[in-house]
Every structure is written in structure tokens, then in C-alpha cells.
Amino acid sequence: MGLRSRIIDRGKQLVQSPIVMRWVSDDRVMKAAEGVLDAKTRVRLAWHMLKNGHGLPNVDPALDDSLGETVEHEGRNGSGRAEFSDEEDSHHANGSQNGNGAVATNGSGSRATGGVSRNNGSSGTAGHMSAGHVSAGHVSAGHVSGGHASGGNGAALEANMIALDADRTRRRDAGTRNGMSVREARDGMEDALKERTSLANVGGHDVFEKCYQFTAADNARRAGLYPFFRPLDFNDGPEAVIDGRRVLMFGSNNYLGLTTHPKVREAAKAAIDRFGTSMTGSRLVNGSMKLHNEFEEKLAAFFGKESALVFTTGYQVNIATCAAILSNKTSVAVVDRNVHASLYDGVRLGQSAGARLTRFKHADAESLDRALQRVETGEGALVITDGVFSAEGEIAKLDEIVPVVKKHGARLLVDDAHALGVIGPGGRGTAYHFGLEKDVDLIGGTFSKSLASIGGWLVGERKVLQYIQHFAPSFMFAASAAPPSVAAAMAAFDLMQEEPWRMDKLRENFTYMRDELRKMGFELGHTQTAVIPIYIRQDLRTLMMWRELLEEHNVYTNPFISPGVPPKSAMLRTSYMATHTREHLDRGLEALYKAGKKYGVI
């Protein structure tokens, strides 16, 4: 090997060393480089803002926590400091008009009652910034509304436009010089954060203008760092095929591995043969069938509840339930901060009818107690929590939450989408896990995890579910769940009970992965279930590690970055199935170890 070749090889080794990769993938380094290279634009924008007397727009939607939430003008300490739900972060009380102030409205004005300012209707916020949440959907799910920047008009809007123009010019010029570099990829992700706030406020005659100005996704695709909406060729459970390559699937919610079970497939086929592909109508009119009722009876008996309802999707369960129950100005939603996006959407519908929202600190019963103490005489509270939190894998502390709910005479809704088939005796979920099934008023979930289909379910008192049937537009006017979907879910439901080894194997698998990953030095938070987050804490590093795992090791994971999760909470969300073999798990561990070492995560 010649001198030139040896120098090139050595250079490659140095560039790909863990120290260099950790430095290159560090959000702070990239942000510093961007600041230096973009100093001229930043000075111009700052001058424009100073000249017009407006504050800088909030470019990170994860910092906007208002959500039309109850805000008390005077704190309990009498200092006049705004109290924001049960959390007194400084940016909640700064009184600014960019969506972070003590009072946020949607343009219709605030309603003051008893010293409390409330925002009715949709709120100026980026929505829930936890993981519910998301899977890739959490990053792009519809939780961004247009009330985020200063007024949405005038100089602040013009400044947003200047910033966007400058960003596009910088990207074009840099691309001409260097092609799509790592810095450009980082710029693309930074733009994604900016555009979620600034583009939402772009107005004018053409309502599509904001769409034409959205460029971040295209930039990320060109850099090979766009992780969302990637089509699979097919998915057969613990493995899948993407772009013709077989990959190990560590990103599915198919917890019991039933999506390809012969009995589930046969049930769907038989339903098509008997009922056709769709009922072509809502359950209110021509869309209900005895198959729906049969499954509802099974669900009610399984959970020991009086009644059950089958829905078209799990998302619809939460929208319909919250909208129907939170139906007027005396209704209060008291929500764990980290619940799934669908619950926040349901609460928004309640807010449009006059209900109000207050949140308590994640998994904190004392915070819940303080929030319920602020519910006024004559108001009724619905406490809302996930059973298993979809990004963190944590189990809600119902043993601490239920006594507080009962103390204040409130009602409790638990979303058990990620709990059914995973925890509790017989896979009955969170309430049964704690032996509190009689103390939880409403339990809902989806067919799209352990039940290997698509649809949703809700169990509770007959009169309550009957009310939801007749007062939730999203249930009354949506097409009913299709026969093959219901039949497949019911077959999976039966198999879950007939083959309890699947739940045992699932718990064995996720316990093994959790223990081994911790031994390697990965940060996993407080996961207790089949969802295991691997915290990376840096957005760009998370995307680069995701790409490394997929392209170099054929391991499929789900990257969660801001604003889908709070700042510095970026993670690779992994999830496991009963049908993963030990060979699958060990192969995945080897890949995660190599990638973690390469990027300095461990």
C-alpha cells in the first residue's frame, strides 16, 4: 500500500473514530457552527426586531406549554407570580405575547372567573411534547396551532419571513459550495423546529403558501437523515423488509406477535367472505353489526365492566370520550403531562365547548392532588392518564393516583393502548396490575398493538358509554370498524387468552433487553414494559445513530426528536415482541453496542 493510500485510510479511521463522531453529532457544536456561519443573518434579524419593538419568536415549540390551560394571575404566595397548572417554570410566567406568557388566548379573548384566566377553544401551542407519544407520528402529529408567534401579523410575521428567506439562501449557497453536508443536515432539522412555529403563522391570500415554504423535510431526505413515513415492503413480525433488505424489527407495537398468526388471518378472510369489506356507514345508522356487539360483550366480561364500545380507531376512542364527557364550562380535564397526543386532541374538543384544562407533573400524585384542589366548587374533574406511557415505557402509578382521585370525587380515564396483553393478570392492563379494576371509571385502548388489527375499545358503566354513543360526533358520524378488522382483533383477543405463553415470553424478552442494555451503559429511564427508550439526548446524534443501525446493521428503530419530545430528551424508541428469538435480541444488542460506541453514547 502506497503512502497516499495509507494517509487516506488513516484519515478515514480518524474521521470515524468515536471521539470525532460524538463531536460532529453534538447539537451544541452544530449550533455553534451555524451561529458563526450565519452571523450576518442573525444580526439582520435582531436589528429588525429591535427596530419594530417585537420580541423574538419562540422557535422551539417544546417550550410553549400553555395549551389553553388554566392560569392563575396571582400565585398562592401572594407575590403576583403567575401559577401555571402545578408547574412554575420561569418561561410560564414571563407575560410575553409569543405563546409562552402567563395568559395565552386564541384571539377571542380570555374568560375570567374567580381570578382564573381561561382559554376556550384551540390554544396557541405546539401541543404535547412527550414521546407519545410518538413513534414518528409524534413528531409530525397534528398538535401545532397557529397562535404561537407574536400575533401572527405585522412586523413579527415579516421577521419570520426574513428568517425563512435567509435560511433558504444560506442552504442554497452552502449546497452550491459543498453539496449536502452534515451541517446542512443539521440545518434541515433546525428548520423543522423553526417552521413548525413560523410557517404556521404565514398568512396572506393563499392559504397554501405555508406549504410551499416548507423545505426541511426535503433537505433531510437529501441528507439521508429523514426517518419518517418510510414504506416497508412487508412486515412479518420480528423481521421486516425495507427497500429489499431484511431488517430486524425493533420498532413495532405488535407485542404478542399475532399479526401473522394463521387464525387471525383466517378470521379476517372469513369476515370478508361473510360480511364484505365494509359496512359503509356509521354505527349510528347502518354501520353496526352483530360482530361489533359480540366483541363488546367479550370485552366487558374480560375487564369486569358493565359495558363496552368498539370504535374504528384507538385515536377515535380518546377524541370521542373526551369530547363527550368534557362538554361544558363546568368540566375540567386534569391531565398527566405525558399522555398521548390523541388525549390532548380530545381535550381540545372539550375546550371548544368551554371545558378547561389543567395538567399535573408526570407520574406525580402530589401534583395531581394540588391540581384537583384548584377545581372550583360546582366543577367536575376528569383525570386522564396513560396506563403505559407510549414513549417512556413507564407504568402509571395508579396505586398513588386512585386514592387522590377518590379523595376529590373526580373521575378517572386510563388509556391502556400499550398495556393490554403486556401487563396485569391475563394481560388485562394497568388497573388489574394494581388490583384497582373497580376504581377506574373508564379504560380505553386500541386494536393496533396486542390485538393485531386496527380499531379501538372502551369499557365502563353502561349509562356512561351510552351517553358517549349519543353525544360524541366523532363516534356518531364516523364509519364503523370494518368487519375484517373487528374479526381479526377478536381472534387475537381469544388467542391472547388461549396462549398465555406469549405474554410470558414477551416479559422475558423485554426484561432481558432492558437488563443487557443497562449493563452496556445505555440510559433507559424508568421503563417497566416492552417499550424501551434509549436516550441519546441530542437530536442530530439520534438521527445519525438511527441511520447507522438501519443502513449498516439492518436494525429498525424509531427516532424521537424535538419537538416530538422535550428538549434534550431525544431517544431511539425500541419495542419488543413475544416472537423475537434470543438470536434476534442478541443480534440487536451487538448492533446497538457498536453504534453506541461509535457515537459516544456509551
In a domain, 444, yes or no: yes
Q: Are 76 and 56 part of one and the same domain? A: no
Mean pLDDT of 538-563: 94
Q: Are 275 and 239 part of one and the same domain? A: no
Q: Are 425 and 354 part of one and the same domain? A: yes
pTM passes above 0.85: no
Q: Are 387 and 482 part of one and the same domain? A: yes
pLDDT at 143: 35
Question: pLDDT tens digit string along 570-598?
Answer: 999 999 999 999 999 999 999 999 999 99
Q: Are 554 and 582 part of one and the same domain? A: yes
In a domain, 404, yes or no: yes
The CA distance from 528 to 495, in Å, is: 24
The CA distance from 577 to 237, in Å, is: 8
357: cell is 384544562
In a domain, 8, yes or no: no
Answer yes or no: are the C-beta atoms of 281 and 432 closer than 8 Å: no
Question: pLDDT tens digit string along 469-509?
Answer: 999 999 999 999 999 999 999 999 999 999 999 999 999 99
Answer yes or no: are the C-beta atoms of 475 and 458 closer than 8 Å: no
In a domain, 558, yes or no: yes
In a domain, 134, yes or no: no
In a domain, 487, yes or no: yes
Question: pLDDT tens digit string along 237-268?
Answer: 999 999 999 999 999 999 999 999 999 999 99
Indicate the range of 93-107, 219-233, 450-464 predicted with least confidence: 93-107
User: Last residue of a domain, which of 497, 515, 538?
Assistant: 497
CATH code of 346's domain: 3.40.640.10
The CA distance from 503 to 428, in Å, is: 11
Taking CA 172 as the corner, what is the angle to CA 167 and CA 173, rounded to the nearest 5 degrees?
A: 100
Q: Are 113 and 165 part of one and the same domain? A: no
Answer yes or no: are the C-beta atoms of 427 and 503 closer than 8 Å: yes
DSSP for 17-76? SHHHHHHHT-HHHHHHHHHHHTHHHHHHHHHHHHHHT-PPP---GGG---TTB-EESS-T
Q: For the chain, what is the radius of gyration of the CA atoms? A: 25
Helices (H) and strands (E) in the chain, counts: 22, 18
User: Last residue of a domain, which of 441, 463, 497?
Assistant: 497
In a domain, 312, yes or no: yes
Q: Are 92 and 110 part of one and the same domain? A: yes
Query: Which amino acid is residue 528, in one-letter code?
Result: Q
DSSP for 430-458? HHHHTT-GGG-SEEEEESSSTTSSS-EEE
Q: Are 244 and 115 part of one and the same domain? A: no
User: Last residue of a domain, which of 438, 462, 497?
Assistant: 497
The CA distance from 558 to 545, in Å, is: 11
101: confidence class by pLDDT, cuts 50, 70, 90: very low
pLDDT at 40: 63
CATH code of 555's domain: 3.90.1150.10
Q: Are 297 and 446 part of one and the same domain? A: yes
Q: Are 37 and 89 part of one and the same domain? A: no
Range(s) of the domain holding residue 537: 234-255+502-598
Indicate the range of 122-136, 190-204, 369-383, 415-429 predicted with least confidence: 122-136
Judge whether residue 135 has pLDDT over 50.
no
Cβ burial, residue 152 (10 Å; 0-12/13-18/19+): middle
Q: Are 182 and 319 part of one and the same domain? A: no
- Structurally, the chain folds into a number of domains equal to 4
376: confidence class by pLDDT, cuts 50, 70, 90: very high
In a domain, 146, yes or no: no
Q: H-helix or E-strand containing 412?
A: strand 411-415
Judge whether residue 86 has pLDDT over 70.
no
Q: Are 461 and 512 part of one and the same domain? A: no
The CA distance from 111 to 117, in Å, is: 6
